[in-house]
């Protein structure tokens, strides 16, 4: 194993431990330390706050599937204060996934402790930290980290831990084989009022011997990665800011590949190079100018093809952007506008058959015309990646009692154009009655062009529109919301239409201690081969008999019927019972 990266980060950790306390030594008054201790002891030495919750979900369906009939969730966050110490503790325990029959490289149960003393913040257990989108951004790991933010220019953050556990390939197509992966990171920042400088390092490597055999059939190979990032932010004048960020990464895609001689790349010192080792870079720089009603600036960004690190799930790469931006507000802040316009191109190394070069733009506008009317809209044709559902009925029909999948299961779609507009109108507002009307429209459009020709199946377009009306009778504490939704989609050369209404009624009872809700939705989808009807009935209740205690009950009954083939009618029932306590 290459020990050089570990030595580098060990040195950074030692410097942060010795330099920071020495730089802040003037805060300690040794002559009056006895009096300081007495003052601290007079205060309440122990405080505790937080919240705990427990819930269970019962599931029943007329169709067989792998879902567990009963799932429980235990969640909590506790903040323990001892003198100047703050020790937050959070946890999540569940039996979800215990009977899946296949294996995944991430954990469903998580426990983290985040003690803090003045400017020292620690992270222990199942935690996450973020440095930069170019290098390491929020990926959860099991280990420890510390952030040192003393009242001096020097700031330090370090971490290390296990990113994935070893999962052998058991020939089940649902199993996600993975090597045991450990990662380490460190960041040093020097922050003054007029400028900020920083350097960040990240290293991760798979344990080659953690699996019985390498799952070549699933294209899973042991990897190693080292990345450095430099960033700077300088205020040239009071209203003129210059910023920049540069990252270079070296990644070995297969540690079992044939070794090669060391290259002249500066990252080669940290890696054991072989025929699968590649180096990439990403950088951006710009300048911002502030004036009376807003801000204007210019920004340049370039990311090499296939740029990636082992510190994030996904990277957008192989593009170059040059953009101008403008933001301002008028009419005492009632009218705000923000926009970008620029030039974008891809295929930076000219190794693809086609290249895209185009003007790109984005704009967003919000205008509060009066106390009763507000309009907002936005447009963008920047190439981007998103995990948002394009079809609004996916969210409407989703079971709200199901927990989201871990981040490993996120799917990304490339969108060429996005546009949306909404109008919010207050119909009436007085002591006894409140009425609101909301209209929404959104467009998501993607086109794959080859020599300016759109091939069959190369166009996807989603139109979503809805109108919603809410009315609240304040004296009897009753609120009703009705809406009608419509989606028109064209994808894979097929058209689909979905429409349907929804209704939700809430009632507050027992001196505001209980909330009852009853709702339902129906939608019909039609495509060239089938018609599908989905009906959802929802019931909810929340009761807080005491100040810090609450009980909740939720039930969802779903009926789904399709005319395609011999698909039987599907019926699902989900019931959730929960309890929460805050202190």
What DSSP letter does each residue of 260-323 carry, written as one string?
----S-GGGGGS--BTTEEEEEEEEEEEEEEETTEEEEEEEEEE-TT---TTSS----SEEEEE
pLDDT at 204: 96
Q: Provide the pLDDT confidence category of residue 142 given band limits of 50, 70 and 90.
A: very high
Cβ neighbours for 276, distance < 8 A, ≥ 6 positions apart: 221, 252, 253, 254, 257
Alpha carbon 561 to its chain centroid, in Å, reads 34
pLDDT at 171: 77
Q: Provide the pLDDT confidence category of residue 352 given band limits of 50, 70 and 90.
A: confident
The partner residues of 189 in beta bridges, in order of sequence, read 155, 198
- Range of lowest pLDDT (328-337, 360-369, 415-424): 415-424
Give this prediction's pTM.
0.74
What percentage of the chain carries pLDDT values higher than 90?
Answer: 57
In this predicted model, what pLDDT tens digit does every residue of 186-196 receive, in sequence order? 999 999 999 99
In this predicted model, what pLDDT tens digit does every residue of 420-478 receive, in sequence order? 999 999 999 999 999 999 999 999 887 665 545 555 556 788 999 999 999 999 999 99
What DSSP letter does each residue of 328-387 carry, written as one string?
EEEGGGTEEEEEEEEEEEE-TTS-SS---EEEEEEEEEEEE-SSSEEEEEEEE-S-EEE-
What would the mean pLDDT of 157-179 be, rounded to a whole number? Answer: 88
Q: How many other CB atoms are there within 10 angstroms of residue 453's CB atom?
A: 8
In this predicted model, what pLDDT tens digit does every residue of 545-562 receive, in sequence order? 999 999 999 999 999 999
In this predicted model, what pLDDT tens digit does every residue of 231-253 receive, in sequence order? 999 999 999 999 999 999 999 99
End-to-end Cα, the chain, rounded Å: 49
Number of helices followed by number of strands (H, E) in the chain: 3, 31
| Strand, helix or coil for residue 11 | helix
CA distances for 465 relative to 55, 64, 81, 394, angstroms: 35, 35, 49, 14
On the question of pLDDT at 6 being above 90, the answer is: no
Choice between 411 and 280, residue whose per-residue pLDDT is larger: 280
- Closest-CA residue to 542 (of 582, 519, 574, 509): 509
| Strand, helix or coil for residue 229 | strand
Contact predicate 102/175, CB 8 Å = yes
Q: Provide the pLDDT confidence category of residue 130 given band limits of 50, 70 and 90.
A: confident
- Closest-CA residue to 384 (of 341, 344, 342, 415): 415
- Range of lowest pLDDT (352-356, 409-413, 518-522): 409-413
What are the structural domains of the chain? Answer: 1-43+101-314 (2.40.160)
pLDDT at 95: 85
Choice between 436 and 89, residue whose per-residue pLDDT is larger: 436
Cα separation, 466 vs 456, whole angstroms = 30
On the question of pLDDT at 24 being above 50, the answer is: no
């Amino acid at each position: 194993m290459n020990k050089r990266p570990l030595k580098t980060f060990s040195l950074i950790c030692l410097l942060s431990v010795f330099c920071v306390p020495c730089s802040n030594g003037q805060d300690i008054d040794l002559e009056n330390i006895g009096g300081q201790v007495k003052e601290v002891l007079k205060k309440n030495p122990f405080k505790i706050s937080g919240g705990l919750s427990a819930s269970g979900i019962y599931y029943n369906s007329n169709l067989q599937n792998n879902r567990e009939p009963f799932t429980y969730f235990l969640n909590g966050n506790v903040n323990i204060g001892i003198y100047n110490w703050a020790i937050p503790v959070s946890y999540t325990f569940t039996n979800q996934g215990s009977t899946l029959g296949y294996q995944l490289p991430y954990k469903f149960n998580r426990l983290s402790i985040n003690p803090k003393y003045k400017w020292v913040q620690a992270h222990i257990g199942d935690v996450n930290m973020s440095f930069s989108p170019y290098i390491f951004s929020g990926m959860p790991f099991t280990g420890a980290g510390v952030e040192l933010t003393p009242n001096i220019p020097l700031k330090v953050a370090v971490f290390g831990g296990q990113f994935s556990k070893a999962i052998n390939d058991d020939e089940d197509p649902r199993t996600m084989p993975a090597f045991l992966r450990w990662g380490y990171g460190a960041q040093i920042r020097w922050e003054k009022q007029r400028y900020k400088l920083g350097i960040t390092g990240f290293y991760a490597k798979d344990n080659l011997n953690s699996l019985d055999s390498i799952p070549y059939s699933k294209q899973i190979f042991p990897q190693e990665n080292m990345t450095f990032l430099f960033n700077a932010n300088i205020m040239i004048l009071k209203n003129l800011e210059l910023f920049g960020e540069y990252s270079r990464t070296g990644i070995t895609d297969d540690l079992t590949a044939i070794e090669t001689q060391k290259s002249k790349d500066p990252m080669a010192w940290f890696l054991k190079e072989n025929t699968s080792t590649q180096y990439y870079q990403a950088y951006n720089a710009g300048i911002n100018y502030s004036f009376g009603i807003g801000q204007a600036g210019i920004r340049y960004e370039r990311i090499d093809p296939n740029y990636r690190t082992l510190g994030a799930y996904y990277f957008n790469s192989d593009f170059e952007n040059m953009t101008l931006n403008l933001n301002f507000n008028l009419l005492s802040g009632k009218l705000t506008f923000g926009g970008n316009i620029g030039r974008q191109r891809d295929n930076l190394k000219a190794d693809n058959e086609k290249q895209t070069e185009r003007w790109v733009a984005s704009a967003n506008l919000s205008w509060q015309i009066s106390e009763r009317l507000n309009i907002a809209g936005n447009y963008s044709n920047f190439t981007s990646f998103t995990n948002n559902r394009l079809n609004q009925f996916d969210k409407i029909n989703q079971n709200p009692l199901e927990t989201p999948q871990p981040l490993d299961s996120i799917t990304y779609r490339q969108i060429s154009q996005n546009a949306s507009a909404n109008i919010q109108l207050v119909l009436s507002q007085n002591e006894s009655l409140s009425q609101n009307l909301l209209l929404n429209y959104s467009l998501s459009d993607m086109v794959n062009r080859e020599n300016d020709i759109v091939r069959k199946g190369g166009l996807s377009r989603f139109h979503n529109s809805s109108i919603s009306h809410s009315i609240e009778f304040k004296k009897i504490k009753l609120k009703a919301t009705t809406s009608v939704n419509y989606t028109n989609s064209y994808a894979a050369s097929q058209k689909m239409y979905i429409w349907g209404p929804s209704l939700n009624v809430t009632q507050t009872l027992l001196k505001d201690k209980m909330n009852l809700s009853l709702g339902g939705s129906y939608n019909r989808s039609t495509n060239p081969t089938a018609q599908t009807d989905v009906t959802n009935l929802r019931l909810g209740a929340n009761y807080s008999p005491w100040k810090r205690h609450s009980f909740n009950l939720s039930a969802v009954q779903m009926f789904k019927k399709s005319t395609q083939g011999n698909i039987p009618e599907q019926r699902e029932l989900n019931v959730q019972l929960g309890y929460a306590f805050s202190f």
